[in-house]
Amino acid sequence: MTPFSNNASICGYPRFLGEEELPQNTTCGEIDAIAKEVNFGHSLEIPTAVGSCMYITRSCLNDVGEFDQKTFPGYGEENDFSMRAMLKSWKNLMAADTFVYHKGAVSFASQSETRKAIALRKLQHLYPTYDEIVHGFIRLDPGTVFRNRIDFKRLRRSKKPVILAIMHDGTGGTERHVLDLMEKLESDAHWFLLKGHHAGAQLQWRDPGEGLRIGYDWAGDFDELVRFLKECNLTRVHVHHTHQFVKQVRKLVEALGVPFDFTAHDYSTICPQVTLTDFTGAYCGEPDEAGCNKCLTYLPITGVPNISSWRKDHQWLLRQADRVFAPSVDAETRLNKYFPDVHILSTPPIDKHLDSISEAKAIALAPQEKLRIAVIGAVSEAKGADLLQLAAIDARARNLPIEFHLIGHAYRPLLGRPKANLMVYGQYKQEDLNDMISQVNPHLAWFPAVCPETYCYALSSCIEVGLPVVAPDLGAFPERLRARPWSWIVPWEQEVGQWNDLFSRIADEHFKTGLPPDCIESTEHHIEKEKFSYELDYLKLDLAKRKRDQATV
């Protein structure tokens, strides 16, 4: 008999197969008491006991014999014992009503992985069906129901609101905003994340130390998902993106019956292309409905006969939401053209890059030195990958002292060094970006976007390290760079040669002389807006409701 434990493989709680410390703000005693309450008397047959904590009856020990310490000196002895017991018709059980803390890999800390590997090879040799039995149990994971009961009880006991964030199954800026928000408010709320697509979704409990991960199929598991979330005492849903599953999200939100918020990370609610770009790959200028329908004939979307149908399927996100957020004033303004009756809160995301900002300054450019221009991030067609390559080719053809460095990657292979004055460094980990910028040591960063971006984390990285910036007069760039030294906002529709002429002038007039440009004084987006703070204001409604509900219990 083996109990639940934080570090007990197939008997792991809160993470199945996990090796975790206890979840934040809880104790071993609390989890044990809850397990006893919700799983009292329940056990589960398992393929092998876990050696950190085992109860063996005397009759079993007499029948099976003692541990084989000679063959398994340190790891694997409990697995061998369990297999021998099963061969004699004994059962290995997990006590679902007991939790014991285990500090893992202490006995043989420096040698644990090697010892485990050796022990596994011996087990596989002695018991050819061992892997099949264990992996079969892992696939079924019958302990889910018992772990869930403990989770539900812990959530219902908590005084914190429980929030579900919903997004597509990708990564990028949307995921970053979601995870940063969760991290910032983790001490004041419980967070679930549902990442979905057209066929299904995965639900995760994102609180530190928690292990819940459940996959759902929209067709067969919808009711089960709703029941699960209601059991978790859900207080709010925050929809961040519905790519490929907007109808499923609407059905889920309505079934849950709790308030929901919506963040417009892009323009997917009004444009099937998401970025407000047309068949040329550049900003469409936002034509009337006839213009949008013409665009759909060039870029058709399955099941979308016209733009009106698309917007009808998505308008509920803005019209029925408790709160609608946009990451910039520019994004708010564009959305309000289509939804003038919707109150939108323009507030930038929580952005760690802006916690500590270096003063913007320039690196002096020597007379014969090339101007090093960095383009940062995952660069799509709309973010200017094609323009970047053309600019590099043009600079090479005209023998301009300019070289381009893509710190990241493009949506397609780009013509690289030496033919086009372009170096491509590939994907990077976010925590490595500042070091990569330092190694490239660029004179400036260029954002060749040809779409109105709602926000840009790569720009935040440049602001953080004090890198000079050239950006288009499109999207959120003007408002974010207003009054910032060593920054240029220029017309986005320039020809390739005009961009390189601009870079050449910047090099001669500023980087060679050390004279900074005039600060950007655009007032287009400099409007006093309603102030909203995620840290101070986001949870006010739910915390107040939680207190009222608990006061009436």
Same fold for the pair 158-269+315-347 and 357-511: yes
Identify the DSSP state of 261: E
Residue with tokens 């053809």: 397
The rounded mean pLDDT for the chain is 92
pLDDT value at residue 69:
87
Q: For 205-209, 334-338, 441-445, 462-466, which range has the lowest pLDDT when averaged over its residues?
A: 205-209
Integer Cα distance of 187 and 166 in angstroms: 20
Q: What fold, for 158-269+315-347? A: Rossmann fold (3.40.50)
pLDDT value at residue 531:
81
Q: For 56-60, 201-205, 405-409, 526-530, which range has the lowest pLDDT when averaged over its residues?
A: 526-530
pLDDT value at residue 417:
57
Where does the pLDDT of residue 108 fall: very low under 50, low under 70, confident under 90, or very high at 90 and above? very low
pLDDT value at residue 18:
79
Whether residue 518 has pLDDT greater than 80: yes
Give residue-wise pLDDT tens across range 244-284. Answer: 999 999 999 999 999 999 999 999 999 999 999 999 999 99
Integer Cα distance of 550 and 552 in angstroms: 5
Whether residue 523 has pLDDT greater than 60: no
Identify the DSSP state of 348: P
Region 321-333 average pLDDT: 97
Q: For 100-114, 233-247, 281-295, which range has the lowest pLDDT when averaged over its residues?
A: 100-114
Identify the DSSP state of 148: H
Where does the pLDDT of residue 526 fall: very low under 50, low under 70, confident under 90, or very high at 90 and above? very low
R_g over Cα of the chain: 29
Integer Cα distance of 155 and 176 in angstroms: 25
Q: For 47-51, 485-489, 525-529, which range has the lowest pLDDT when averaged over its residues?
A: 525-529
Whether residue 385 has pLDDT greater than 90: yes
Inter-CA distances, 418 with 273, 367, 371, 422, Å:
34, 22, 16, 7
Q: For 171-185, 270-284, 340-354, 523-537, which range has the lowest pLDDT when averaged over its residues?
A: 523-537
**Angle, helix 28-38 to helix 144-157, in steps of 10 degrees:** 110
Q: Is the dihedral of CA 94, 95, 96, 101 positive or negative?
A: negative
Tell which wins on pLDDT, 383 or 209: 383
Region 306-310 average pLDDT: 96
Whether residue 211 has pLDDT greater than 70: yes
Q: 357-511, which class in CATH?
A: alpha beta
pLDDT value at residue 167:
98
Cβ neighbors of 387 (< 8 A, separation 6 or more) are 448, 450, 496, 499
Concatenated DSSP letters of 417-443: TTTTSEEE-----GGGHHHHHHHH--S
H or E element that contains 62 = helix 58-64
Concatenated DSSP letters of 489-528: EE-TT--HHHHHHHHHHHIIIIITT-PPPPPP---TT---
- Cβ distance 127 to 83 under 8 Å? yes
Where does the pLDDT of residue 444 fall: very low under 50, low under 70, confident under 90, or very high at 90 and above? very high
Give residue-wise pLDDT tens across range 139-172. Answer: 999 999 999 999 999 998 998 999 999 999 999 9
H or E element that contains 204 = strand 200-205
Type of residue at 62: N
Where does the pLDDT of residue 319 fall: very low under 50, low under 70, confident under 90, or very high at 90 and above? very high
3-class DSSP assignment, residue 217: strand
- Do you know the residue count of the chain? 553
Give residue-wise pLDDT tens across range 10-26. Answer: 999 998 987 788 888 88
- Cβ distance 236 to 258 under 8 Å? yes
Whether residue 451 has pLDDT greater than 70: yes
Whether residue 121 has pLDDT greater than 80: yes
pLDDT value at residue 547:
67
213-217 vs 200-205, strand pairing mode: antiparallel
φ, ψ dihedrals at 35, nearest 5°: -60, -40
The full set of domain ranges for the chain reads 2-148, 158-269+315-347, 357-511
Cβ neighbors of 142 (< 8 A, separation 6 or more) are 44
Q: For 84-98, 100-114, 346-360, 431-445, which range has the lowest pLDDT when averaged over its residues?
A: 100-114
Where does the pLDDT of residue 343 fall: very low under 50, low under 70, confident under 90, or very high at 90 and above? very high
Give residue-wise pLDDT tens across range 59-92. Answer: 999 999 999 988 988 789 999 999 999 999 999 9
Query: Nearest Cα to 99, choosing from 18, 212, 12, 210?
Result: 12
Q: List for the chain the helix, strand, coil content (%; round to 5).
A: 40, 15, 45
Angle at 122 between CA 119 and CA 127, to 5 degrees: 120
pLDDT value at residue 109:
44
